[in-house]
Amino acid sequence: MVQELWSSRNALRLGTGIALAFSVALASVTPVAAQSLTDRFKSLFGGKSDEPAEPKPAPAPGQPAEDDLDCPQVTVRAGASTYAVGASGKPAVGNDIRFQASITKMARECSRSSAGITARIGIQGRVIAGPAGAPASVEVPLRIAVVEGGVGEKVIASKAYRTTVAMSEGGSVPFTFVAEDLAYPTPAPAVADNYIFYVGFDPQALSPEPKGRKKK
């Protein structure tokens, strides 16, 4: 009886230790930060962080300079900065967490045409294996939206994305995703400053897309 009680206590201590170590690993992740446009997406678009920024090309005659282009700031939607998955049939808490993803950096770049504005949104993050053990690869669901802020927020455009991250033995893997196709109408000057890019995790992005109606 004493030996069984001792074994139970050791198992409880081991589980608590694993959960504590996982919590410390998550706390060490770089806090969310938005890169400035002068970074030229060096880290997100293939450049090295220690390379000098590329010189900006001179704007064409009659065209606004890059800094004058309406390109909203990018931030993480409240409540969507992390994404955790638990063991089958269990909530993603404590020792039942299989993996957790977090967003660490964002960047954006905009181009204007007669059709409107097309944005390139870059997201960097990290996936950390949990006590329950992560699979060989995980699918990370993301959503990016451009919103007109104010008293009542108005969603101008929103798209869901998925990216697959191959896990390593170390259990902590960075990932990078770049959305190239977020397009929306050019905002009126009076409201352009109210526009903002929201990024975040969206589990609904993993749901199968609805099938179109069959043509007769």
Half-sphere exposure of 186 (CA within 13 A, CB side): 9
Q: Whose structure tokens read 């043509």?
A: 215
Alpha-carbon distance of 80 to 202, in angstroms, equals 7
| 3-class secondary structure, 215 | coil
* pLDDT value, residue 142: 97
Q: Is the pLDDT of residue 56 over 50?
A: no
Q: Can you read off the two tokens belonging to residue 64?
A: 């606004």
Nearest Cα residue to 105 out of 87, 126, 119, 120:
126
Render pLDDT for 154-211 as a digit per residue (tens, 0 to 9): 999 999 999 999 998 888 999 999 999 999 999 999 999 999 999 999 998 777 655 5
pLDDT value for 169: 81
DSSP label of 136 = S
Rg value, the chain, Cα: 22
Structure tokens at 29: 């992740």
- Span 108-154, pLDDT tens digits: 999 999 899 999 999 999 999 999 999 999 999 999 999 999 888 99
| Amino acid identity at 137 | S
Distance CA 50, CA 19 (A): 36
Tell how strand 82-86 and strand 137-148 pair up. Answer: unpaired
Digit-coded pLDDT (tens) for 162-177: 999 999 888 899 999 9
Is the pTM higher than 0.75? The answer reads: no
pLDDT digits 0-9 by tens, 20-42: 445 544 444 444 444 444 454 45
Residue 101 three-state SS: strand
**Torsion, Cα of 199, 200, 202, 206 (10° steps):** 80
* CA dist., res. 26 & res. 3, Å (int): 35
Q: Read off the pLDDT of each residue in 81-90 and give the average, rounded to a whole number.
A: 92
What's the rounded Cα separation, in Å, for the pair 159 and 145? 6
Instruction: Work out the average pLDDT over 75-97.
Output: 93
Percentage of residues in the chain with pLDDT exceeding 90? 54
C-alpha to C-alpha distance for 15 and 7, rounded to whole angstroms: 12
On the question of pLDDT at 65 being above 50, the answer is no
Residue with tokens 């880290």: 43
